[in-house]
Amino acid sequence: MNASPYSPEEASGVWVYLEHRDGKLEGVSLELLGRSRELAQETGESLTALLLGEQVEPLAEEAIAAGADRVLVAEHALLGQYTTEPFTKVITGLIVEQRPNILLLGATTNGRDLAGRLAVRLRTGLTADCTDLSIGPKSGLLLGEVTGFGHGILATIECPVHRPQMATVRPGVFPRPVADPTHSGKVERVDVILSASDQPVRVVKQTSRRAADVTQAERLVIGGRGMEGDFALLRRLAKAVHADVGATRVAVDQGWVREDRMIGQTGSVTRPKLAIICGASGAMQFTVGVKDSETIIAINSDPEAPIFEVADYCVAEDAFQVIPPLIEALRREPVEEKS
Amino acid sequence: MHTIVCLKVVPKSEEVTIDDETKTLDRSKARSEINPPDMNAVEMALKLKERNGGTVSLLAMGPPLFEPYLRLGLAMGADQAFLMSDRAFGGADTLATSYVLAEGIKAIGSFDLVLCGDESSDGATGQVPPGIAEWLGLPQATDVRRVDVSDGSLSARRELGAGSEVVEADLPCVVSVKHDVNEPRFLDSGRWDWAMNEAPVQIWSATDLEIDVEKAGVPGSPTVVAGVSVAEGADRRREFLSGSPEEIATQLADKIRAWVKP
Ligand SMILES: Cc1cc2nc3c(=O)[nH]c(=O)nc-3n(C[C@H](O)[C@H](O)[C@H](O)COP(=O)(O)OP(=O)(O)OC[C@H]3O[C@@H](n4cnc5c(N)ncnc54)[C@H](O)[C@@H]3O)c2cc1C
Ligand SMILES: Cc1cc2nc3c(=O)[nH]c(=O)nc-3n(C[C@H](O)[C@H](O)[C@H](O)COP(=O)(O)OP(=O)(O)OC[C@H]3O[C@@H](n4cnc5c(N)ncnc54)[C@H](O)[C@@H]3O)c2cc1C
């Protein structure tokens, strides 16, 4: 057996790893705090947030307002930018010392990079890309809900004897908690001992661009393979209904749309008031990203397409025949800007 | 320069069907293929070999039916292939999978670079490459689009959600390659006979490599599938609109306006 550093009996506490950029917590970290607050209540444990970086202490307040009872702040020049080893080393040290029961991370590029490394260093289990997290009513174990085992099938993965129980979650899976400035928590600074030899990988250049955040969109126009690359048409429709544009993985893989707009298990999970889905078949890895929409309109030329099973209004037509007159109709009597 | 590429063989995702009875994935009718980003990793390795000389090895963990796929990699231009195949490796989660692959890498011998795909098309966790790096105690660079190697060091461009970064590390290290970053070459017909018939594909069992079977397969896997359930269908209207495209467009526009207005 691969033995983890401590046993379930010795473990306590729910921990969330916080990611941040440009002096702000990432949305997925806030979402995790919100859900973890509920999980911690269920297990009767406290919620700890892990904040690593250089001069990041001011962010601790935001984490407390989002539900953390305690924020562990680790500051060091070698933590100024994410690289695998310094982050793994500092977090491993804290985990072995304080023995949390659960450790959750956002399934971002760096979150997955870190989680995959940490889980092996700690010899524990890691559930990837959960679409929900809950606590087993009898076992008290963390249950990670995952798709990918069949159409309409949800599997739960658990980690019975290794600690911490680890999982990653995609952005948007949980709603963002409303900040509660009256929630109190403590900030603990931890000692960090790192030297240059702890950083075998150095970042020599970084290019950032503003990534689209579709998780918070109120309205979405989403295109799939059936759009045959014509996202200009979808952008016009989106403009007419004041919506953001999203895409299936196929549309992203084809290079029609950038990856930050991908919706689904590998992309983002969204919960708009209105989603208009055009030329997408309705694969489960996609529909997990829209199933919480208030209203779904689907346009697909195949009347048998599974997307219609999850739609409120179904249009079994060629999208190229329906969308231009739809844009026209919306132009004649425009949609108001904001509800 | 010696590059080891980890190849997973996966069911073609578009051919996986759903068993009507159990609603679970039926992989039996699907043909297999090399996991798509792993093809990009092979191509990257072959390009590095063209530039820097050296050897490309292929490594897979899986049942004997993986062997022909390793031979395809040899026909593309790889020099040697290794298949770790043992019942004791079955049912592994990513901790156990990365342990076994790391043992295989050590058995192959000295190397400069390990290339993996960024994720498989079936399990899709992306956890195996960082896992291998940790078992080997080597630096890692994940989600990489481009690599350059010179003077024993690596420069790699990682794709991040909001941008990209260039990282540097000393070799050896472990890299995971994004899907579609290059155009995998066709099989070289001149290598075909050799690859299919003569080339050695070394098959290793747990005993061959003295692998601790308690760390492999099911015993070595901390995660378990606790249950499967049928997803509750959302309560949707599923109302089909009818008429000409223009009539449908008018109906849709009315509905959209109704929702969007206060
Ligand atoms: C591990 C894993 C993770 C994945 N993650 C995601 C994810 O996050 N997001 C995601 O989207 N996918 C994901 N996928 C892929 C997913 O399984 C599907 O392959 C994908 O969603 C299909 O995209 P699509 O609907 O655009 O294409 P298709 O399935 O090819 O569907 C195209 C549809 O367009 C319709 N059509 C064609 N022409 C027209 C027309 N003129 N007008 C109207 N309709 C038309 C067709 O009838 C068809 O239904 C994942 C897969 C795996 C294995
Ligand atoms: C639907 C589903 C969900 C799963 N969820 C989890 C989970 O949450 N946690 C967990 O621990 N396990 C999970 N598993 C099990 C996991 O898929 C297996 O452990 C698998 O052996 C490796 O993981 P992966 O396919 O996710 O690989 P990834 O980490 O996605 O693969 C990345 C790369 O690693 C290399 N690689 C991976 N496997 C091999 C191999 N056998 N031979 C050679 N190279 C390889 C390839 O280069 C590949 O491109 C899941 C399996 C399924 C089917």
Check: CB of residue A72 under 8 Å from CB of residue A50: yes
What ipTM was assigned to the predicted interfaces of this complex? 0.94
Tell me how long chain B is.
Answer: 262
Q: Which helix (H) or strand (E) holds B103?
A: helix B94-108
Task: Dig out the tokens for B217 from the structure.
Answer: 């397969």
B135, B219, B237: residue with CB nearest A1? B219
Distance CA B40, CA B179 (A): 6
Question: Which atom of ligand 1 is least distant from the CA of B123?
Answer: 1
Q: Is residue B159 part of a domain?
A: yes
Q: Which of A84, A79, A73, A152 is nearest to A121 (CA)?
A: A84
Q: Which of B143, B139, B142, B123 is nearest to B221 (CA)?
A: B123
Mean pLDDT of chain B: 93
Which chain A residue's Cα is nearest to B137?
A121
Q: What angle do CA A175, A161, A6 make, to 5 degrees?
A: 95
Pairing type for strands A274-278 and A219-223 reads parallel
Which residue of B98, B251, B256, B257 to mutate against A (max A Cβ within 10 Å)? B256
Q: Which helix (H) or strand (E) holds B224?
A: strand B224-230
Counting ligands in written order, the one closest to the CA of B36 is 2
Q: Is A239 exposed, middle or buried (0-12, 13-18, 19+ CB in 10 A)?
A: middle
Check: CB of residue A263 under 8 Å from CB of residue A287: no
Write phi, then psi, for B15 (nearest 5 degrees). Answer: -105, 0
Residue A138 CB partners (closer than 8 Å, separation 6+): none
Per-residue model confidence as pLDDT tens digits over A242-295: 999 999 999 999 999 999 999 998 889 999 999 999 999 999 889 989 998 999
Say yes or no for a CB contact (<8 Å) between B222 and A125: yes
Counting ligands in written order, the one closest to the CA of A284 is 1
SS in 3 state form for chain A?
A: CCCCCCCHHHCCCEEEECCEECCEECHHHHHHHHHHHHHHHHHCCCEEEEEEECCCCCHHHHHHHCCCCEEEEEECHHHCCCCHHHHHHHHHHHHHHHCCCEEEEECCHHHHHHHHHHHHHCCCCEEEEECEEEECCCCCCEEEEECCCCCCEEEEEECCCCCCEEEEECCCCCCCCCCCCCCCCEEEECCCCCCHHHCCCEEEEEEECCCCCHHHCCEEEEECHHHCCCHHHHHHHHHHCCCEEEECHHHHHCCCCCHHHEECCCCECCCCCEEEEECCCCCHHHHCCCCCCCEEEEECCCCCCHHHHHCCEEECCCHHHHHHHHHHHHHHCCCCCCC
Q: Is residue B225 part of a domain?
A: no
pLDDT in tens, chain B (262 residues): 999 999 999 988 777 776 666 666 677 778 899 999 999 999 999 999 999 999 999 999 999 999 999 999 999 999 999 999 999 999 999 999 999 999 999 999 999 999 999 999 889 999 999 999 999 999 999 999 999 999 999 999 999 988 899 999 999 999 999 998 999 999 999 999 999 999 989 999 999 999 999 999 999 999 999 988 877 766 899 999 999 999 999 999 999 988 766 4
Pairing type for strands B25-26 and B17-18 reads antiparallel
How is B129-167 classified by DSSP, letter by letter? Answer: HHHHHHHHT--EEEEEEEEEEETTEEEEEEEETTEEEEE
Ligand 1 center from residue A268 Cα (angstroms): 15
CB pairs under 8 A between A and B: 271
Q: Is residue B77 part of a domain?
A: yes
Q: Is residue B262 part of a domain?
A: no
Say yes or no for a CB contact (<8 Å) between A207 and B164: yes
Which residues of chain A, if any, have pLDDT below 70? 150-152, 336-339
A296 contacts in B (CB within 8 Å)?
236
For position B234, what pLDDT does the model report? 67
Ligand 2 center from residue B127 Cα (angstroms): 7
Distance CA B18, CA B16 (A): 7
Say yes or no for a CB contact (<8 Å) between B234 and A119: no
Q: Is residue B69 part of a domain?
A: yes
For position B20, what pLDDT does the model report? 67
Say yes or no for a CB contact (<8 Å) between A315 and B168: no
Distance CA A188, CA A57 (A): 10
Q: Which of B112, B111, B117 is nearest to B44 (CA)?
A: B117
Q: Is residue B250 part of a domain?
A: no
Domain span including residue B170: 2-215
Residue A311 CB partners (closer than 8 Å, separation 6+): A277, A296, A297, A298, B236, B237, B238
Ligand 1 center from residue A249 Cα (angstroms): 7
Per-residue model confidence as pLDDT tens digits over B145-199: 999 999 999 999 999 988 899 999 999 999 999 998 999 999 999 999 999 999 9
Distance CA A159, CA A162 (A): 6
Query: Which 3 state secondary structure label does DSSP give B186?
Result: coil
Residue B148 sits in a domain whose CATH number is 3.40.50.620
For position A339, what pLDDT does the model report? 45
Q: Is residue B26 part of a domain?
A: yes
Counting ligands in written order, the one closest to the CA of A262 is 1
B11 contacts in A (CB within 8 Å)?
none
Say yes or no for a CB contact (<8 Å) between A321 and B245: yes
Query: HSE of B24 in the Cβ direction (CA atoms, 13 Å)?
Result: 8
Residue B261 touches partner A, C-beta closer than 8 Å? yes
Please count the structural domains in chain B.
Answer: 1
Q: Is residue B244 part of a domain?
A: no
Distance CA A149, CA B124 (A): 12
Peptide bond before residue A306 is cis, with ω within 30 degrees of 0: no
A330 contacts in B (CB within 8 Å)?
253, 256-257
Say yes or no for a CB contact (<8 Å) between B250 and A329: yes
Distance CA B56, CA B48 (A): 9
Residue A278 CB partners (closer than 8 Å, separation 6+): A221, A222, A223, A224, A226, A227, A234, A298, A299, A300, A319, A323
A162 contacts in B (CB within 8 Å)?
222
- All domains in chain A, ordered by first residue: 8-198 (3.40.50.620), 214-332 (3.40.50.1220)
Say yes or no for a CB contact (<8 Å) between A201 and B241: no
For position A285, what pLDDT does the model report? 85
